[in-house]
Structures are given as C-alpha cells and as structure tokens.
Structure 1
Amino acid sequence: MTLPQPPRTALAPALLTATALLALTGCGTSEADGAGGGSGAPVVIRIPDPGNSGVLAVGKKDGSLDKALAKAGAKVRWTGSAGPFAPAAQAMNADQLDIATGSLTSGITSLAQRPGFKFFTAVDPDAAGEGILVKNGSGIASVADLVGRKVAVNQGGTGEYLLLKALARANIPADKVERVYLRPDQTAAVFNAGKVDAWAVWATYAVAEIGTGTAHFVADGAAIGSENYSLNAVRTGFAEQHPKVVKALYQYLRDASAKEKQNPAAYLNVFTDAGPTAVTGKAEQVQIDFTRKGGTVGPIGPEDIKRFKAVAAFYAEQRVTTAEVDVAAHLLDIEKLK
C-alpha cells in the first residue's frame, strides 16, 4: 500500500481458489515447447487480456504490440484476464503466465512466498488515483474520523497499505480502525450498501465510484504519502531465456504509456464504448484526469529501490509480512538486458 494487531473481519475468502486461478490463466499448459527453440517459430509471451482500456488494449486492437515484439522474434498469447496481482503471481510461479502488472505492495506480499518472477518496470506512485474513499455526507472529513469505523481493504495489497500509511501519518494506532478484508471486485456492493464506512482503493475501482458523484477521497495518495509504485513483472525463467523479448516489451510499454499520458481518451473504451467494461459519463473524465496526473513506465533506478525498501520495512513494522522482504533481490535492470 510499531502498532498492535488490529481486529480483522473477513467478509470474503482472501485466498485464491483453483477455479479462480484457471480463470485467470485460461490454458494451463506451458508454452516452453512452442517458444522458438530453434524451430524458427516465434517465442510466445503469455500476457493477461487487457480488457477495454490501456496501452495493451490498444496494442491488441491495432496489432502494434505484436509488431513491436516481432522484431524480437515473439508474439503475444492473451490468456485469462487482467486482475489482482496475487493470483497472477501464482500463475507465473506455476509457469502459466509470463507477464503481469501489480502494485509494489501486492508485489511485496507475493515475494514473501516463493516467487518465480522479477519486476522490470516502474511507474511512480499514483498521487491522485488512489486513496481512502468515503460516501458524500458520511460525516468522515479526515483520516482521524475513521477511528471506530470499518474500512474495506484488500489484504496485503494496495488497500491495506493505504489505510495503514494514512493512519501512521496521522499518528493513529492501527487497531483503532477495523480492517474488513475483501476482494476488490467484491467491495463496491458492500461499500454502496453501507456495510463498511470507507474503502481504501486505487483508480481501477475508484473511478466508477467517484464518477457517480456520490463518493470522494477523504485522503488521496498525495495526502497519504503513498510510495506504492505500479510494477510490471516477468516470469524469471522467461526473462532468462528471452531477454530480448522482455526488452522489446519494456520499450513498447515505455513509449505507449507516454503517449497515453498525453492523450488519455484515446486509450479508453478501446473495443466498445458501451456495457460494463466501458468508462462513460463523469467517470470518463475522472479517469482522464487521473491518467494525465499519473506517471509513465520507466526503468527501476536506485532511488526507486530505496523507496521499495522503505515500503517493505513499513509492511514488516505493521506485521503485514513476518519479516522485511528484500525487494531488490527480485528486480531486473532492464537497461542492461541484451
């Protein structure tokens, strides 16, 4: 995303089921035997389907991503769908996925297991698009007003980090606020039904809520002091076997994210402007504003690594992890790949 353990309420299972993992990865077979191997066939890189928005959605629709990867002898296989990083990390560990995107915070909790992946890009923390969401008229005007309330968070990920970071910055003991652990895709209904008082969340889910005109951030990433980077991860074995492909993907993401920041509207509603995956009305302008204020894909530098370490230390202090995770041991210097 120092203090005693807070009370915890789980309204939904936090662990990934086998069914959910299969839904994410689509086909569970390895692509190793079809990845070039001297046969002249292109390397297949497995990436979660990007949905209806973002640089990968545009790359899928216009073929620009495959064109960029073809120069490195590769092509994309879209598998499953993009979602939380934890199941994607499990899929990479199981050799069912090669690339995934997630937050630094969810990455740290995944690295605390037995990781089979490395991070190779970084986007600066989202100062505008993540924060503590509350309903208009809730009576919650500051982080201090969360004391004695219930706040929905995703366990070990961005939501839990944002809440703990906000409380620490306001010098409020974490056990003064009840964390309600929910999967992000299950939280909107609970939040809107008033079963929780606030939701620590990021742009993927916040845009729709803010777009209704009935909710707002009581504290955004800037106010919280969030150091929660967005990262791209690659399966370790894939990076070792196909460094040129990883480098080509990085260059595509870097260039495309800069274009997206300049013209966010062109990267929304890529395949359809109607239905549940479309961003419409006020929500569309909210997303455009967040993207314009956001960062772009770049390499992971020394200053980034220092901030990664600070977040890992914070997670250990807050007992989200049992020990400080060594994030630096799981990074690729993309600029050195050949």
Structure 2
Amino acid sequence: MRIPKSVSALAAAAALTALATGCGNSEAGGGQADGEQITVRIPDPGNSGALAVGKKDGSLDKALSKVHAKVRWTGSAGPFAPAAQAMSADQLDIAVGSVTSAITSLTQAPGFKFFTATAPDGAGEGILVRKGSGIHSVKDLVGRKVAVNQGGTGEYLLLKALAAHGIPASEVKRVYLRPDQTAAVFNSGKVDAWAVWATYSVAELGTGKAEFVADGKEIGSDNYSLTAVRTAFAERHPEVVRALYTYLHRASAREKRDPAAYLNVNTDTGPQALTGPAKAAQIDISRRGGTVGPVTRGDIERFRTVARFYAEQKVTRTTVDVAAHVLDVEKLS
C-alpha cells in the first residue's frame, strides 16, 4: 500500500493536531465487552488509493464487520512522524509510512509495530531536477543545494545516491524542508534538486518541466512502505489487524491491475485530483509498484541495511532494531 500519491501531506505539526482532533481514548484503551463493536482510527486517505476506495464504497467497513469492527476516519494522511507520535499517545491506531521515517520515529518511545510491507517504489521516488538545470547525473549535484525531508525518504535517497557514486555527503548542501512546502522552493530555483517520492514527484513530472536525475531503482533504494498499528490495539484486537491486512493485500493487488480506478476517487477536479500527464505518470508508477504483503525475513534484512546506513551517515545515533517492532501478521488470529 502506498500513501495516497496525489494528495499533498500536511505539515508535521498540523498533521498531529488534525490526527488528535476528536480522538479521545478508543475502546481499545479500556477493554471491550463481548459483541461490542471495535473502532479502529485511521487517517482520512484523501482522493486516491485502496483506503480511499474502501471508504467511499463501504467495502472496508464491510470487511471489518466480520470481526465486529469499523473505521473512524480522523485527520488526514500525512507524514509518518506525527502519526507515530499520535499512535504512541493513543490518538490513532493505524498509519502508513516509509521504513526510513519509521527508523527515525523508532528512536523515540514507540508505541507501534509494523504488520505490512510494500516493496520500494523504484519508479516514483528519486532525485528530481528542473529540465535545463545543467544537472545530468548524481555527480553534478556536487556543490548544489538539494531539498530533503530530514530523517525521512528524501534524506535517505540523497545520501544513498551520493554514497553509490563515492561522493562525500558534505559536498552537497542538504536543505531541510517540509515536503508540502518544497514544490514552491524547488520551482523558484532556490534549491537545485529535490529528493522526493511519488506523493509529490508525480505533480512535478506531470508538468513536463522536471525529471529524475536518478530514480529509486537506479539509486538502489530499500525504502519500503510499511503499515503500522498501535501496539496496544494489536495486542487486544489481533483479529482486526489480520482482517485489515487481508483487505489491504487484496485491494492493493486490484489497484496494481487497474490503477485508474484508484485515482480521483472522490473528485476529478481541484488540487487533489490528478489529470493529464500527471495522471498518466501515476498510473504507470502504480502498475510498476508492489503490493501489500506480510513482512518477510528478507524484508527485515533490507530494513537492517537501511538502519545501518542511517547510523553510518549519522542520521541516527545508533543502529535501530526495526525487527523488534515487526508483527507476523500471518500468525495473528
């Protein structure tokens, strides 16, 4: 499962506030009587993706009703860091994010675990440059300014690309910006490049004025997408987590086969909608992308590779043990 790709993410602080709105302790925090309906709190998915379809047609609530659960949509899907804080504070039960953001979030006091993994998006993420910028390779980034989100996908992609070409990280200026504020800075020329993922790259690629100097596949990205669940919720309601996994697994396979059906779910106009070349780019990326699956041993080894890389690059102080925060969804019942 991917984070809805056409919807601009909220700023971290704003997202955390939104996630908390109207979200006191759920039933999961205080026990559950037999037969009582369970509520699972999930950020509103916006205008694209499997969850957006599940919300609109009621198929997700129908699937969860089999385990006496329903969704409460709250806030908006945005950066993983504030969502991780919201889960740890018992204000949210489910969130989606990259393994890179997950690693930095795990350096705090995590109250969540991961139960799905989707393979890295080799086509939708990478280092974006403006056409005509004179930047034709990763080596051309030396001495340039590159916008990244600190500790997340952007910083990972840039550092990974530089390391692959033997370029010291100190030779490129990292400009830390919130993802939702970067497009204007990038297009104004105040930064020379933008290390970014499909949520934001699709709109830029759709203008025909930007291109990847290196995409995730060329970079060798191990940047998986993960679904996290609040630890206490998973412990009390494993059957709900398993049902949610089954829904996401099947829906993501349908989305891969027919990406267009999962775009512009609620509206085909306005800032949330994808049209023209941007829509075509997103359809191509989705077709080439992965599907939601359980976290395998092979996945965990790649998570460890990212964690070691982050420690080596001084993004984290130590190597984070991601494996300690993974659930085997196939053993949940």
Give the TM-score of the pair, scaled to structure 2. Answer: 0.95
Q: Give the match for residue 66 of structure 2.
A: 71
Mapping of residues 140-159 of structure 1, within 5 Å: 140-159=135-154
Q: Give the match for residue 84 of structure 1.
A: 79
**Distance in 2 between the 1:74 and 1:16 partners?**
29
Pairwise CA distance, 1:31:
1.1
**Distance in 2 between the 1:92 and 1:25 partners?**
10
Q: Give the match for residue 180 of structure 2.
A: 185
Pairwise CA distance, 1:33:
6.7
Of 229, 233, 236, which residue of structure 2 is paired with 1:238?
Answer: 233
Q: Deviations over 1:209-251 (max 9, x none)?
A: 0000000100000110000000000000000000000000000
Q: Give the match for residue 131 of structure 2.
A: 136
**Distance in 1 between the 2:126 and 2:12 partners?**
25
**Distance in 2 between the 1:35 and 1:66 partners?**
22
Q: Give the match for residue 57 of structure 1.
A: 52
Of 289, 293, 305, which residue of structure 2 is paired with 1:298?
Answer: 293
**Distance in 2 between the 1:143 and 1:258 partners?**
34
Q: Deviations over 1:287-336 (max 9, x none)?
A: 00000000000000111111000000000000000000000000000000
Summarize the Cα distance change of 1:35–1:283 in structure 2 as closer, same or farther, 3 Å threshold.
farther
Residues 15 and 83, structure 2, Cα contact 8 Å, conserved in 1: no
Pairwise CA distance, 1:37:
1.2
Q: Give the match for residue 163 of structure 2.
A: 168
**Distance in 2 between the 1:25 and 1:62 partners?**
25
Q: Give the match for residue 335 of structure 1.
A: 330
**Distance in 1 between the 2:30 and 2:42 partners?**
14
Alignment length (residue pairs): 323
3-state secondary structure, aligned to 1:129: coil
Pairwise CA distance, 1:21:
1.6
**Distance in 2 between the 1:28 and 1:44 partners?**
11
Summarize the Cα distance change of 1:81–1:323 in structure 2 as closer, same or farther, 3 Å threshold.
same
Of 267, 271, 276, which residue of structure 2 is paired with 1:272?
Answer: 267
**Distance in 1 between the 2:221 and 2:244 partners?**
27
Q: Deviations over 1:182-210 (max 9, x none)?
A: 01001001001111000000000000000
Does 2:19 match 1:24?
yes
Does 2:209 match 1:214?
yes
Specify the code of the residue in structure 1 equivalent to 2:220: G
**Distance in 2 between the 1:245 and 1:130 partners?**
31
Specify the code of the residue in structure 2 equivalent to 1:73: H
Q: Which moved more, 1:27-36 or 1:211-220?
A: 27-36
Pairwise CA distance, 1:27:
1.7
Q: Deviations over 1:135-186 (max 9, x none)?
A: 0000000000000000000000000000000000000000000000001001
3-state secondary structure, aligned to 1:332: coil
Specify the code of the residue in structure 2 equivalent to 1:295: G
Residues 153 and 201, structure 1, Cα contact 8 Å, conserved in 2: yes
**Distance in 2 between the 1:221 and 1:93 partners?**
30
Q: Give the match for residue 5 of structure 2.
A: none
**Distance in 2 between the 1:24 and 1:285 partners?**
31
**Distance in 1 between the 2:28 and 2:139 partners?**
56
Pairwise CA distance, 1:108:
0.2
Residues 27 and 96, structure 1, Cα contact 8 Å, conserved in 2: no
Give the TM-score of the pair, scaled to structure 1. Answer: 0.94
Q: Deviations over 1:249-268 (max 9, x none)?
A: 00000000000000000000
Pairwise CA distance, 1:36:
7.2
Q: Give the match for residue 98 of structure 1.
A: 93
Pairwise CA distance, 1:26:
2.3
RMSD: 1.3
**Distance in 1 between the 2:138 and 2:37 partners?**
52
**Distance in 2 between the 1:21 and 1:252 partners?**
26
Q: Give the match for residue 200 of structure 1.
A: 195
**Distance in 2 between the 1:320 and 1:80 partners?**
29
Instruction: Return 5+ residue gaps in structure 2 as ranges.
Output: 1-10
Pairwise CA distance, 1:16:
4.5
